[in-house]
Structure 1
Amino acid sequence: MSKLLHISASPRGEDSESLRIARTFTETYAESHAGDQIEHWDLWDGSLPDFAAGARAKMTVFGGGEPRGAEAEAWAAARRAFERFTSAGRVLFSVPMWNGSVPYVLKQFIDVVSQPGWIFGVDPEKGYSHLLAGRGTRVAVVYTSAVWGPGLGPEFGTDFQSTYFTDWLRWTGLTDISEIRFHPTLTGDWDDARRQADARAREIAKGF
């Protein structure tokens, strides 16, 4: 039995386009993968740990030491988040655009799980190694925005959303990535954009 983990970064509930498209994906996946487990991780549910002490623990580990006290507790909480993330062979992210980039809670997730020995190694001569490579993990990402859209000029913003997040995924070693996009813009046909995004979500989910 495989597992699909949906990690969502929108707090907008029924008003969220990224969550709506993700539901289309997970419903289609459930129909096409009978018996597979589907888990939803809402990054706004308070389960992500604060990482102030964790940041100190990270530098302790970098220096070859062992975190202790509050640092050890923060490190253990980060490890639990990392293990939840890597427990699934299939991962769906729903990512709305916030101010040209990703919601801060998704950046918190990235900063919590991206630790030496877990996500990456680093060599002074060879640079980074990508520790999630070779696992066979597949990733799908729903990217949504309301103002920015492909082909629009810089007066409508710049896409630091997908460029940043895709770069992070590849840095971890996750390179089997499918994208579902919803960018109707302020003057576009929202209904048609929804139909296209839903069709793309169903297409990917069936073979995911």
Structure 2
Amino acid sequence: MPKLLHVSCSPRPDSSSSAGARTFLEAFRQAHPDWDVDVIDLWRERMPEFAGPIVEAKYARMKGQAFNDPQRDSFAEAERMAIRLSLADRVLISTPMWNFGIPYKLKQWFDLIVQPGLTFRFDPSEGYFPLLKDRPTLVILASGSDFVTGMNRGRIDMATPYLREILRFIGINSVGFVLIGPTTGPQQPIEAARERAHQRLAGIAASF
């Protein structure tokens, strides 16, 4: 059964990014009733801190050294999460923009899965190489400001370039973005932006 992996990054079920994801998934399930949808809620998922044995395991692997027992156990947690991503035929990431970047839970997820031998390999003479195959990936990014039309009052969107680059680093190049914003301020622009984004999401879902 083909699988869509949904990485849900908002702690608020009624947030703009969560609402956008629901619109997309409803249309996707209607168009693809035979697909399995695997949801990773980063605020409920068991994710170890990126410290201690798992950091030691990362550098041990990069140096070609064997794991000790604590390193092996901690690296297995990263492997479990990376496998869920590697098995997905399509990927949906729904996230708010926090302080011009991504939520720390999403950064923690990337820190755990971007591991040598799992999602990339390193050759001292040639550099870094991705290990995942490319797959269609959609990012729903909600922000307080209007980054769609550029009315961001000088604020910089650091979430979009980071997500595009970190996904490219592990092999995922076919990445699209649907921005939802503004989500703060006068109600009329908020509702108009949400309506535009939801219509676009429903359209993308039908052929995703």
TM-score (normalised: structure 1) = 0.92
| Aligned equivalent of 2:18 | 19
Q: Distance in 1 between matches of 2:45 and 2:37?
A: 20
| Aligned equivalent of 1:175 | 173
Tell me the alpha carbon deviations over residues 25-55 of structure 1, each in whole angstroms, 9 at most, x when there is no partner.
Answer: 1110000012111121101114222221211
**Contact 1:96–1:143, Cα closer than 8 Å, also in 2:** yes
Unaligned runs of 5+ in 2: none
| Aligned equivalent of 1:38 | 37
> SS of the residue aligned with 2:178?
strand
Q: Distance in 2 between matches of 1:71 and 1:183?
A: 42
| Aligned equivalent of 1:142 | 140
> How far has the Cα of 1:191 moved from its partner?
1.1
Amino acid across the alignment from 2:110: I
> SS of the residue aligned with 2:107?
helix
| Sequence identity (%) | 35
| Aligned equivalent of 2:128 | 128
User: CA separation of 1:148/1:56 partners in 2, compared to 1, >3 Å: closer, same or farther?
Assistant: farther
> How far has the Cα of 1:106 moved from its partner?
0.3
Tell me the alpha carbon deviations over residues 103-133 of structure 1, each in whole angstroms, 9 at most, x when there is no partner.
Answer: 000000000000111211223343221111x
CA-atom RMSD in angstroms: 1.6
Amino acid across the alignment from 2:204: I
| Paired residues, number | 204
Moved runs in structure 1, 4+ residues, more than 3 A? 185-188
| Aligned equivalent of 1:109 | 109
Q: Distance in 2 between matches of 1:35 and 1:12?
A: 29
User: CA separation of 1:136/1:120 partners in 2, compared to 1, >3 Å: closer, same or farther?
Assistant: closer
**Contact 2:62–2:122, Cα closer than 8 Å, also in 1:** no
> How far has the Cα of 1:148 moved from its partner?
5.5
**Contact 1:90–1:138, Cα closer than 8 Å, also in 2:** yes
TM-score (normalised: structure 2) = 0.92
Unaligned runs of 5+ in 1: none
Q: How does 1:1-208 map to 2 (within 5 A)?
A: 1-14=1-14, 16-52=15-51, 53-132=53-132, 135-147=133-145, 149=147, 150-152=149-151, 155-184=153-182, 186-187=185-186, 189-208=189-208
Q: Distance in 2 between matches of 1:199 and 1:147?
A: 20
